Chains A and B, each alone.
Chain A
Amino acid sequence: MNSLPVWPIMLPLGAALLAVIWPRRSAWIGIAASLATLTAVGLLMAQVASRGTLVHALGGWEPGLGIALRADALAVALLLMSSLVALAAGWYATGYFRDANRQSQFWPVWLLMLAALHAMLLSADLFNIYVTLELLGLSAVALAALGGGRAAIEAALRYLTVGLLGSLAFLAGVAVMYTRYGTLDMLALAALIEPGPASWLALSLMTAGLLVKSALFPLHFWLPPAHANAPAPVSAALSALVVKAAVYLMMRLWLDLFAPILGPASAWLLGLLGAAAVLWGSWSALRAQRLKLLAAYSTVAQLGYLFIFFPLLAALPPGPARDTAFGALVLMALTHGFAKSALFLAAGMIQQHAGHDRIEELGGTARALPVTTFTFALAGVALIGLPPSGAFLAKWQLLSSAIALGQWLWVPVVAAGSLMAAAYVFRVLGFAFGPSNGVMQKLADGREGLPALLLAIVATAVLGLGAAAVWHFVAPGALLTEAQR
């Protein structure tokens, strides 16, 4: 059973090839592969829960030579989110792309993206991470360009350029690491790592690359056009999963691999940028004229919260308090993943039925699309961070850590960000509840709203009421540094 970590990568990869060979059946292949991937991730999760971190060397080669996969609790938690979101978004996509031609363009790249993402989450080696990061970026650009039209192509090209620059910086950092330590296996590096100019240089280069990819303020400029102009299921995956992948690597580097040699001061810079992202992203979302642009700016803001955790975690000594804060960070990332994908799918529904997504002309939506409006509101609850969502508990712990550590700066930032999020969510709902201007008269909700609703329920109810399970699963022994001790 030790080959289990291979399946979440191989299943979508194989299906991507099948979908190329057999384009007419691509939707069926894609859904079947997504279901199979989810099953594999479920089995993997059960293994990790009972036996702890799994390591698998592809082809039996020793780590350092071959490709090693490493499934720890953090990676598996994100794998579960990505396979669930991918399944729901894929299910939605079967109805979203009406003609078979678009379906056959969509599925191979979509499945390739999923394979790259899963490979990145499971990689135990910095070079493989670089390769998968590059693959992920390229497939994401291809998906973003599927929207067609001038704006989508322009945004995708900019996305491509920025993504390549980011990967290049990351690769340079990886090269420095190899020159200094002679290995790229993360477990081996965790034992060797020591302070020094080479380590700082490598970390700075890799961080710079990842900050571009995770769209941290002020490097976020490429994200809103790319995410807002892509087809709805693609936007959902880009916002919920692809940027989250870069944040995941930041967590690996800052909270794990380099954590022993980092002082608390450097993490403050990330926290400050995160705070600026929260404020600027929320403000821009509030001023957005289009629903999908609002959702994209909201992503900029929500990613900011994740970075506010970095200075807190850097200041906390290992122990229960740090585990709690770390679990809150993971919970926040998971909740955002589900909520944002639900929000984009709901926005896609509204756009298809209304023919546009201009917020001020959405009157009557609540009556015409009750399920979709409800989905939007539920996802909004999670984005604002109100109970019973998982984000509420995460924010409670974030505030709690900030107050306990005396890092008071984050308290007004979180408060202001939450209130602005409430303002932009309810601004939309206000128009949706308002009088109809005749665009949408008839009741148009059907089963196609179901995937988005399920995602929103996961974010708002399941992750809220079951949050203790996330802490239980993720907090202890999730990291390399724990394995070292």
Chain B
Amino acid sequence: MSLETWLPALIVLSSLLPGLIIFMLREDDHRLRTSLNLLGALVKLLLVGMMIWGVFHERVFETRWTLAPGLDLVLHADALSMLFVTLSTALWLVTTVYAIGYLENAPNRSRFFGFFSLCVTATVGLALAGNLFTFVIFYEMLTLATYPLVAHKGTPEAVRGARIYLAYTLAGGMLLLVGAVWLRTLAGPLEFAQGGILGNIDGLNPTTLSWIFLLLIVGLGVKAALVPLHGWLPQAMVAPAPVSALLHAVAVVKAGAFGIVRVVYDVYGVEFADSLNLLAPLGAVAAVTIIYGSVRALSQDHLKKRLAYSTVSQVSYIALGTAIAGPLATIGGMVHLVHQGLMKITLFFAAGNYAETLGIHKVSEMDGVGRRMPGTTLAFTIGALGMIGIPPVAGFVSKWYLGLGAVAAGSAAWVMPVLIASSLLNAAYFLPILYRAWFREPTREWPASPGHSGRLETHAFLLWPPVITAALALAAGLFAAAPYSPLEWTQIIAAREYRE
């Protein structure tokens, strides 16, 4: 019983236990609830820091618990899981601060923060999952923990959005389950390994493997919002802003994308998957999703809906990078897992601030908002420019590596047009917002904002999170070449996946 066997479990427990305690708190126990939330988030960050240090020094962290004959719950730290764990942990801390400010005086906060913690627990669990069985467990738990958050407001639209979300994700989860069980009967315990495991097993039928791949990718594609499985995502934006932020940047959508990465790289092995001709269809779906999401975003006047369609588009960069099959594209796709998270969470925080402080929900109401809320709007601007892919914001780095990877893999002919079209479309739906916010005159009186002293443009707990995440997005681009940057970390992963 050493630190190596306990640390992964502790990281999962550091949000599970506060969550369970919070459920039992009385509604007006505001101070204790806030302390527990922040304490859990900080402890988790500390533990993750220890683990990164350990993984860097090639120590092996693994928690193993037998659930059934031949089925182990495995939490295992490798370079890829650390990428996602670090992202979720850091953004959980920021989002918790934001949510505390956002939900001040709202009803049912114990329920909200309880499920909020469970949601992060499930995300971190699936990031640390060491085999496909464990991944499926946390993937389904994530679905369950998110449902009450989407339905939180209790309005008919919220309940409807949550129902649609659930119908999509549970059906997808079922396909994933069948695929995982099927593969388990053929290929043994399915412990994730860099370079893949199926290529080393003899006597597997390629046709069967292709069918299983289809089941797994469709199951994961629902959460990753691949077209035509994306229908739930725009509906789920009825959730409170911190939930949308978490949903789009770290938890649900990313869980699907992360699962695709795991299945392609660490179960099938990217070279083996390519030899089965499985990656080209995945790339085609990703390309269609990128363009389709952007086109739909153009026509949305509702700000959160526009951002939701933007997520549909942007998350597929990860699948695209996976499908191109080449180390450079792998770097581009994986690093976008982090970069898109930082930028999108900034945008949703900002959208939440506009709605909370000024009652702005639509793009057409945003004229002149930059002068009223300069901090929030600056953060929004950085996020939006990053999404378009303008240097030096992080999004540029992702696109640069995706482009390089496409050229190196000889698929530039179809990837480059997709990337260019997507950038143009992103510009077409983000730049008008920026123009309105900064250069148009306000069309109406701003309402007196309730609940803060007036020195800041809004509640401090609402203002700082987007500013911090925007700064991180900028830093991830500016210092991409520095040690410990997301880019450097993905370069290590790519080198191991391709066994160079």
CA distance A396 to B174 in the complex (A): 11
With beta carbons under 8 angstroms apart, the residue of B69, B141, B154 that contacts A387 is B141
A18 to chain B, nearest CB (A): 38
- Which of A323, A426, A464 is B147 in contact with, Cβ under 8 Å? A426
Query: Is B136 positioned at the interface, with any CB of A under 8 Å from its CB?
Result: yes
Which residues of chain A come closer than 8 Å to B23, judged between CB atoms?
A: 374
Interchain nearest-CB distance for B72 vs A (Å): 9
CA gap between A430 and B70 in the complex, in Å: 37
Q: Determine if A201 is an interface residue (Cβ-Cβ < 8 Å).
A: no
Q: Please measure, in the bound complex, the distance between the C-alpha atom of A245 and the C-alpha atom of B85, giving whole angstroms.
A: 47
How far is A369 from B68 in the complex, measured between Cα atoms in Å? 35
Q: Are A467 and B67 in contact (CB under 8 A)?
A: yes
B177 touches A396 (CB 8 A): yes
Question: Are A386 and B166 CB-contacts (below 8 A) given A370-B111, A396-B181?
Answer: no
Q: Does chain B have a CB within 8 A of A468?
A: yes
Q: Chain B 53-88 against A: per-residue CB contact (8 Å), 1 yes, 0 no?
A: 000000000000111111100000000000000000
Given contact pairs A396-B181, A400-B184, A435 touches B147 in the complex (Cβ within 8 A): no
Check A400 against B185 for contact (C-beta < 8 Å): yes
Q: Which of A125-133, A191-199, A414-422 makes up part of the contact surface? A: A414-422
Bound Cα distance A434, B23 (Å): 20
User: Nearest residue in A to B107 (C-beta to C-beta)?
Assistant: A367
* A414 vs chain B, min Cβ distance (A): 9
Could you tell me if A324 and B69 are in contact, using CB atoms closer than 8 angstroms? yes
Give Cα distance in the complex from A392 to B143, angstroms.
15
Q: Which residues of A contact B147 (CB under 8 A)?
A: 426, 429
For A, the interface residue count at a CB cutoff of 8 angstroms equals: 39
- Nearest opposing residue in chain B for A378, CB measure: B144
| B side interface size, CB within 8 A | 41
Q: Quick check: B141 and A430 within 8 Å, CB to CB?
A: no
Give A471's nearest chain B residue, CB to CB: B69
Check B151 for interface membership: any CB of A closer than 8 A. yes
CB of A373, distance to nearest CB on chain B (Å): 10
Q: Which residues of B contact A388 (CB under 8 A)?
A: 137, 141
Q: Mark A328-346, 1 if CB is under 8 A from B, else 0.
A: 1000000000000000000
Query: B175: nearest residue on chain A (CB-CB)?
Result: A415
Partner of B154, one of A426, A435, A464, A465: A435
Q: Which of A392, A399, A419, A475 is close to B171, meaning CB atoms less than 8 Å apart? A: A419
> For chain B, what secondary structure do more than half of its interface residues adopt (helix, strand, loop), or is it mixed?
helix
B155 at the interface (CB under 8 A from A): yes
B163 within 8 A of partner (CB): yes
Asked whether A433 is an interface residue with its Cβ less than 8 Å from the other chain, the reply is yes
Q: Is the CB of B155 within 8 A of A471?
A: no
Minimum Cβ distance to chain A for residue B211 (Å): 12
> Does A403 lie within 8 Å of B182, measured CB to CB?
yes
A9 CA to B435 CA, complexed, in Å: 80
Contacting pair A400 B181 (CB below 8 A) = yes
**Contact, CB under 8 Å: B154 / A393:** no
A370 and B66 CA atoms in complex are apart in Å by 33
Nearest chain A residue, comparing its CB with the CB of B160? A430
Contact indicator B136/A430 (Cβ below 8 Å): no
Contact between B178 and A399 (Cβ–Cβ < 8 Å)? yes
Q: By the criterion CB–CB under 8 Å, are B156 and A435 in contact?
A: yes
**A226 at interface by CB-CB < 8 Å:** no
Q: Are A430 and B159 in contact (CB under 8 A)?
A: yes
| A475 / chain B contacts, CB cutoff of 8 Å | 69
Chain B 172-204 interface mask (CB, 8 Å, partner A; 1/0) = 011001100110110000000000000000000
User: Chain B contacts of A465 at CB under 8 A?
Assistant: 65, 67
Beta-carbon contact of B151 and A430 below 8 Å: yes
Nearest Cβ distance between residue A316 and chain B, in whole angstroms? 13
In the assembly, what is the distance between CA of A455 and CA of B330, in Å?
47
A32 at the interface (CB under 8 A from B): no
A430 vs B158: C-alpha distance in the bound complex, in angstroms? 10
Q: When the two chains form their complex, are residues A399 and B166 in contact, meaning their CB atoms are under 8 A apart?
A: no
When distances are taken between beta carbons in the complex, the residues of chain A under 8 Å from B67 are 393, 464-465, 467-468
Q: Which 10 A-B pairs have the closest CB atoms?
A: A387-B137, A399-B181, A433-B151, A324-B69, A404-B185, A468-B66, A393-B68, A434-B159, A422-B170, A415-B174
- What are 24 A-B pairs at a CB distance below 8 A? A324-B68, A327-B68, A370-B111, A374-B23, A381-B144, A386-B144, A388-B137, A396-B68, A399-B181, A400-B185, A403-B185, A418-B174, A419-B174, A429-B147, A433-B151, A433-B154, A433-B158, A433-B159, A434-B154, A434-B156, A434-B159, A435-B156, A468-B66, A475-B69
Q: Which residues of A contact B (CB under 8 A)?
A: 320, 323-324, 327-328, 366-367, 370, 374, 381, 386-388, 392-393, 396-397, 399-400, 403-404, 411, 415, 418-419, 422-423, 426, 429-430, 433-435, 464-465, 467-468, 471, 475
